[in-house]
Structure 1
Amino acid sequence: MILPARRSFQLVGANAAVALLASLFPDLIGLWYVTVGVSLLLAFADMLLVATEPAPRAERFVPHSLPLGVKRTVRLRLHNDGKRLLSVQVFDHFPQQLSVSGFPLRLGLEAGKFAEPLYEVTATERGRLHFPCVQVRVLSPWQLWLHDLKLPVASETRVYPNFAAVAQYALMATDHHLSHIGILKKRRRGEGQDFHQLREYRAGDSLRQIDWKATARMHKPISREYQDERDQEIVFLLDCGHRMMAKDDALSHFDHTLNAMLLLTYVALRQGDAVGMGSFGGANRWLPAHKGQHNVQHMLNALYDLQPTPQAPDYAQAATELLVRQKKRALVILLTNLRDEDLDDLLPALHLLRKRHLVLLASMREQAIDQALEEPVDNLEDALHKAAVQHYLGTREATLERIRAVGIRCLDVPPPELSVNLINHYLDIKRSGVL
Structure 2
Amino acid sequence: MVRFLKNIYLTNRFFIFVGSVCVLFVLGYFFPVFGALAKILLLALAVCMSTDVLLLFYPGQAVEASRELPKRLSNGDPNPITISLQHYYPFEIGLNIIDELPFQFQKRDHNFEGSLAPKKRTEISYKLTPTQRGSYSFGALNIYVSSPLGLTERRYRFDEEQEVPVYPSFIQMRQFELYAISDRLQDIGIKKIRRIGHTMEFDQIREYVRGDDVRSINWKATARAGDLMVNQYRDERSQQMYSVIDTGRVMKMPFEGLQLLDYAINSSLAISNIALTKQDKAGLITFGDQGCKIIPAQKKRTHLYNIQEALYNVDTDFMESNFNRLLTFMHSKISQRSLILLYTNFQTIESMKRKLPILQQLASKHLLVSIFFVNTELDDLLQSTPESEEEIYIKTIAEKFNYEKKGIVKMLNRHGIQTILTRPQDLSINTINKYLELKARGLI
**Aligned-pair distance for 1:428?**
2.9
- Partners of 2:11 and 2:151 within 8 A in 1: yes
Judging changes above 3 Å, is the alpha-carbon distance between structure 1 residues 124 and 425 closer, same or farther for their aligned structure 2 residues? closer
Quick check: 349-358 or 226-235, which moved more? 349-358
| CA distance in 2: counterparts of 1:385 and 1:128, whole angstroms | 40
Judging changes above 3 Å, is the alpha-carbon distance between structure 1 residues 187 and 73 closer, same or farther for their aligned structure 2 residues? closer
Cα deviation digits, residues 326-354 of structure 1 (max 9, x gap): 34332111101113343365234424534
Judging changes above 3 Å, is the alpha-carbon distance between structure 1 residues 7 and 412 closer, same or farther for their aligned structure 2 residues? closer
Quick check: 195-204 or 250-259, which moved more? 195-204
**Aligned-pair distance for 1:236?**
0.5
Q: TM-score, normalised by structure 1?
A: 0.80
Q: Which residue among 28, 31, 34 is the counterpart of 1:22? A: 28
| CA distance in 1: counterparts of 2:344 and 2:166, whole angstroms | 23
| CA distance in 2: counterparts of 1:133 and 1:187, whole angstroms | 56
What's the secondary structure of 2:60's corresponding residue? coil
Q: Which residue among 281, 292, 298 is the counterpart of 1:290? A: 298
Judging changes above 3 Å, is the alpha-carbon distance between structure 1 residues 9 and 352 closer, same or farther for their aligned structure 2 residues? same
What's the secondary structure of 1:117's corresponding residue? strand
- Unaligned stretches of 5+ residues in structure 2: 1-5
Judging changes above 3 Å, is the alpha-carbon distance between structure 1 residues 308 and 85 closer, same or farther for their aligned structure 2 residues? same
| CA distance in 2: counterparts of 1:98 and 1:282, whole angstroms | 30
Cα deviation digits, residues 61-104 of structure 1 (max 9, x gap): 22334434443432212233556554332111122445988723
Structure 2 counterpart of 1:6: 12
**Aligned-pair distance for 1:369?**
4.3
- Partners of 1:236 and 1:277 within 8 A in 2: yes
Structure 1 counterpart of 2:420: 411
Structure 1 counterpart of 2:432: 423
Q: Where in structure 2 are the equivalents of 1:33-112 lying within 5 Å?
A: 36=42, 39-40=45-46, 43=49, 46-47=52-53, 50-51=56-57, 53-55=59-61, 56-81=63-88, 85-98=92-105, 103-108=111-116, 110-111=118-119
Judging changes above 3 Å, is the alpha-carbon distance between structure 1 residues 163 and 20 closer, same or farther for their aligned structure 2 residues? same
Alignment pair present for 1:187 and 2:192:
no
Q: Where in structure 2 are the equivalents of 1:206-355 lying within 5 Å?
A: 225-281=232-288, 286-304=294-312, 306-339=314-347, 340-343=349-352, 345-354=354-363
Alignment pair present for 1:205 and 2:211:
no
Structure 1 counterpart of 2:3: none
Q: Which amino acid aligns with 1:257?
A: A
**Aligned-pair distance for 1:235?**
0.6
| CA distance in 2: counterparts of 1:71 and 1:186, whole angstroms | 35
- Partners of 1:198 and 1:222 within 8 A in 2: yes
Judging changes above 3 Å, is the alpha-carbon distance between structure 1 residues 406 and 13 closer, same or farther for their aligned structure 2 residues? closer
Quick check: 228-237 or 191-200, which moved more? 191-200
Q: TM-score, normalised by structure 2?
A: 0.79
- Partners of 2:79 and 2:127 within 8 A in 1: yes
- Partners of 1:88 and 1:109 within 8 A in 2: no
Q: Which amino acid aligns with 1:205?
A: R
Q: Which amino acid aligns with 2:136?
A: L
* Number of residue-to-residue matches in the alignment: 430
Judging changes above 3 Å, is the alpha-carbon distance between structure 1 residues 10 and 205 closer, same or farther for their aligned structure 2 residues? closer
- Partners of 1:239 and 1:334 within 8 A in 2: yes
- Unaligned stretches of 5+ residues in structure 1: none
| CA distance in 2: counterparts of 1:32 and 1:200, whole angstroms | 92
| CA distance in 1: counterparts of 2:71 and 2:400, whole angstroms | 48
- Partners of 2:91 and 2:147 within 8 A in 1: no
Structure 1 counterpart of 2:128: 121
Alignment pair present for 1:357 and 2:357:
no
What's the secondary structure of 2:336's corresponding residue? coil
Cα deviation digits, residues 405-430 of structure 1 (max 9, x gap): 44332222332333333223222322
| CA distance in 1: counterparts of 2:329 and 2:75, whole angstroms | 30
Judging changes above 3 Å, is the alpha-carbon distance between structure 1 residues 389 and 5 closer, same or farther for their aligned structure 2 residues? closer
**CA RMSD of the aligned region, Å?**
4.0
What's the secondary structure of 1:187's corresponding residue? coil
Q: Which residue among 137, 141, 161 is the counterpart of 2:144? A: 137
Cα deviation digits, residues 95-142 of structure 1 (max 9, x gap): 24459887232223634x533233333334343322221112222574
What's the secondary structure of 2:153's corresponding residue? strand
Q: Which amino acid aligns with 2:244?
A: L
Q: Which amino acid aligns with 1:316?
A: N
Judging changes above 3 Å, is the alpha-carbon distance between structure 1 residues 303 and 220 closer, same or farther for their aligned structure 2 residues? same
Q: Which amino acid aligns with 1:76?
A: I
